[in-house]
Amino acid sequence: MSKFGGVFLILLLAATINAARPPSTGGARSANPDIAANEQLTALNGALLFILLAAIAITVLFIRPLLAVHSTGGG
C-alpha cells in the first residue's frame, strides 16, 4: 500500500469515528414529525453513501491484484 493509501485509510477511519458520534442535543428541535422523518432519511442516505465510498476506496487501494484478474479473465 502506498503512503497515499495509508493516509486515505486514516482519514476514512477518522470520518467514520466522527460520524458514529451521537448528534449534540443542543439547539431547538422541531416537534414536526415530517422534519424528524426527513432527518432520518437523510442520515440513512448519508450512511449508505459512506459505505459505498469505503468500498470504492478499498477497490482503489488494492487495484493491482484486480488488474491481473481483469486482464486474464476479461470482465
The pLDDT value given to residue 40:
85
Confidence of residue 18 (pLDDT cuts 50, 70, 90): confident
Confidence of residue 60 (pLDDT cuts 50, 70, 90): confident
* Grid cell locating 54: 469505503
Q: Is the pTM of this model over 0.85?
A: no
Q: Which of 45, 49, 44 is nearest to 15 (CA)?
A: 49
The pLDDT value given to residue 28:
56
Mean pLDDT estimate for the chain: 76
* Grid cell locating 15: 470520518
Grid-cell match 476479461, residue found: 74
In this structure, how many other beta carbons lie within 10 angstroms of the beta carbon of residue 37?
Answer: 10
Contact 54, 12 (CB under 8 A): yes
pLDDT digits (tens, 9 = 90+) for 31-50: 688 888 888 888 888 888 88
Grid-cell match 453513501, residue found: 49
